[in-house]
Amino acid sequence: MRYAETGFNLEIDLSRGNIEKVATDPRDTELYLGGLGTNAKILWDRVPPEVEPFSPENLLIFGAGLLCGTPATGCNRTIVTTISPQTKLMAFSMMGGFWAPELKYAGYDKVILRGKSPDLVYLWIHNDKVEIRDASHLKGKGSIETAEILLKELDEPKAQVAAIGLAGENRVYYASIEQGRSSASRGGIGAVMGDKGVKAIVVRGTKDINIAEPEEYIGLCNDVLKYIKERDGNPIPGVMPILAGLGSPQEMKVHDEKWHTENFMWGNSRTRIKDFWSDEVEKEWTETMENARTRLISCFNCPMKCGATITMPGLPTYMMKCFTKLTYTFGAFSDLDFGLRIAQQATEYGVDGFSAPQVMAFALELLKDGILTDEDFPGMPEDSEGRFYYLLDKIVRREGIGDILADGTHWAAQKIGKGAEAYAHNNIKKIEQLPLKLSMLNPIYFLMYATGEKMNITQIEGQFPQAPFPKREHREKFVEDWIQVPDDKFKQYFLDWEMRGENSNPYYPTVDMTCDIVDWQEMMHYIDDALGQCAGLSSFPLKPPYHIHNYPKFIAAGAGIDMDEEKLTKAAKRYRTLVRAINIRRGMRRIDEAPPEDHWKKRFPELEEQLLDGYYKLKGWNNDGIPTSESLHELGLDYVSEDFIKRGILDK
């Protein structure tokens, strides 16, 4: 018997209409855990670097994390992996919600899609019954609308639906996969789903998930719940409210947006509006949110209420998560009312809430500066809000200029030319980022931005405070119960970190310290992504309930795998390296590893090189960011090194 996991993947060949239930190798679970780890293994084995994102040979993998569906609080993420149309590299966007546990209860760890369906279809997975069904009646329908129709049509109100909207159908490079209150948005995975001709995957499961050491496991779960309760009652002093508690930033709950609105950039990530947050704005926005928000809601088996049901007057209800609350508002220089209204449309269309508003603001900036002209925008309204609705529509339908903009700022700028490239300025590895522009280089964030292969800062950062605390006594207080650190040296790093003077940014933390900190932060995210644990209870907040000291016990008691901190650290390093190997094989190199050029005003080229050198060394990569044969051997990844040598990526 397999524990925590089901031991089966569902292989679906859309070209031939073939469905197979395939037993997986338990040794892969030991080496790569599950979720992201085993997704990466499959992608490495089966998708060679020549395969284009929109090729039938590309795979689209929906992987439930190893511990999803067990009683571990907050463990509910689906890790969706494919080759991204936007970056041409590996994408592994994730979604919380209810889909992954349902898949496990249906008896599968992953759904692996290959080929292309000639007609639009949806998949209906109901325990052992799996069908490819006609979806022609769903063509052009919104993602929420689609889910509603399918639940009714199948008469299965308890089923979970992951669906694309019009953007996915039309292969918009930043199309999302929407699932109730969650979505897998980054990297254009919705476009790959659309390219495969799959409108939705509906899952319903009523089988058991087994636990290897029941008493031990439930004890661990109870400890986590107890810790959440205590931590909830004791927010961390001295940091801003959204960083003081657990969960992903409580954007639906918090009304005070002074920090975001005054420190983040508006428009095409250019304009900072100091003193934006007036009493009047606060009153208006609070009213908007309170009227719109019906209920604060959660994902499967999690007490954190990070999302909300939103009903704007005159519009259908949708569910909102986190920061999309503000991205359209920022992009269009508008207000919260507009932001929540257009997000309803955007959710139905299924687009990424970071990229979409940025692309639209980019287009309007090109128009303002004469690189695009009025002729490119026939019939466009005059007001900013109207323009955003206009552009959103053009993009998801790929009409006119929308067809170019649908490829994202990077590719659109290439096509437009005439200096448009300089306007696609807020990307890492071709993906639009949060609209943040800062002054002094932060070495920790530099490394995360440069080397993170999730290409999304909020999915890399966490654990270590974002900034030093002004007073030493506060720092001493903070480290007192900092049990999450893998090693006590991290406490010292933090204790000695000052706001000003010798021990401050950018030269402190030192290169070695910075590398250690980033490595720890990244490792925790990668472990979460294999187990299916939401970062909001683990790698993202300060002092989370899950950490490197209790995770091995969860894996051992849950999945029955012999595990300790050393083995887990090595496993995480193994599949993290494999993710890198997939991208290296697709051409990614050191030159691609850079933050947006204007992210910080004060840059330190020499220090930045040292940081990259140091980090690569710590990771076992050579100076070009390629994993070395020695480090690959140590991780049991000789097959990667053989492939690299064959391709001339590494010397023999």
Strands, E, within 330-401: which ranges? Answer: none
Minimum gap (Å) between residue 80 Cβ and other proteins: 21
Q: Which amino acid is at 512?
A: D
Query: By three-state DSSP, how is residue 491 classified?
Result: helix
Minimum gap (Å) between residue 290 Cβ and other proteins: 15
Nearer to other proteins, 264 or 318 (CB): 318
| Per-position x/- string for 152-171, each x denoting binding to other proteins as judged by CB under 8 A, each - no binding | -----xx-------------
Taking the CA atoms of the chain, what radius of gyration do you get in angstroms?
23
* Backbone dihedral angles phi then psi of residue 363, each to the nearest 5 degrees: -65, -45
Q: Does 296 bind other proteins (CB under 8 A)?
A: yes
Nearest to 97 by CA among 454, 555, 532, 542: 532
Q: Does 552 bind other proteins (CB under 8 A)?
A: no
Residues in the chain: 652
Cross-strand bridge partners of residue 125 = 130, 203
Query: How far is C-alpha 19 from the geometric centre of its chain's CA atoms?
Result: 29
Task: Return the range that interacts with other proteins (CB under 8 A); candidates 65-73, 80-88, 500-508, 509-517.
Answer: 65-73
Q: Does 2 bind other proteins (CB under 8 A)?
A: no
- Max distance between CA atoms of the chain, in angstroms, equals 69
Report yes or no: 466 and 243 within 8 Å, Cβ to Cβ.
Answer: yes
- Whole-angstrom CA distances from 320 to 166, 199, 296, 637 are 19, 21, 10, 41
Minimum gap (Å) between residue 344 Cβ and other proteins: 12
Q: Does 290 bind other proteins (CB under 8 A)?
A: no
Residue among 152, 295, 418, 633 that touches other proteins (CB under 8 A): 295
Nearer to other proteins, 142 or 357 (CB): 142
Residue among 286, 301, 503, 610 that touches other proteins (CB under 8 A): 301
Site for other proteins, residues 78 to 137, rule: CB under 8 A: 98, 105
Site for other proteins, residues 174 to 233, rule: CB under 8 A: 180-181, 205-211, 214-215, 217-218, 225, 228-229, 232
Task: Return the range that interacts with other proteins (CB under 8 A); candidates 107-115, 302-310, 373-381, 511-519.
Answer: 302-310
Nearer to other proteins, 289 or 299 (CB): 299
Token output for 360 = 């639209």
Angstrom distance (rounded) from CA 309 to CA 340:
11
Q: Which amino acid is at 437?
A: K
Q: Does 474 bind other proteins (CB under 8 A)?
A: no
Site for other proteins, residues 397 to 456, rule: CB under 8 A: none
Minimum gap (Å) between residue 134 Cβ and other proteins: 25
Report yes or no: 626 and 568 within 8 Å, Cβ to Cβ.
Answer: no
DSSP code, position 277: -
Q: Does 590 bind other proteins (CB under 8 A)?
A: no
Site for other proteins, residues 307 to 336, rule: CB under 8 A: 309, 316-319
Query: How far is C-alpha 518 from the geometric centre of its chain's CA atoms?
Result: 17
Minimum gap (Å) between residue 209 Cβ and other proteins: 6
Residues in contact with other proteins, counted by CB under 8 A, come to a total of 43
- Please report which helix (H) or strand (E) contains residue 560, including its range: none
Query: How far is C-alpha 102 from the geometric centre of its chain's CA atoms?
Result: 20
Residues that bind other proteins (CB under 8 A): 69-71, 73, 98, 105, 144, 148, 157-158, 180-181, 205-211, 214-215, 217-218, 225, 228-229, 232, 294-303, 305, 309, 316-319
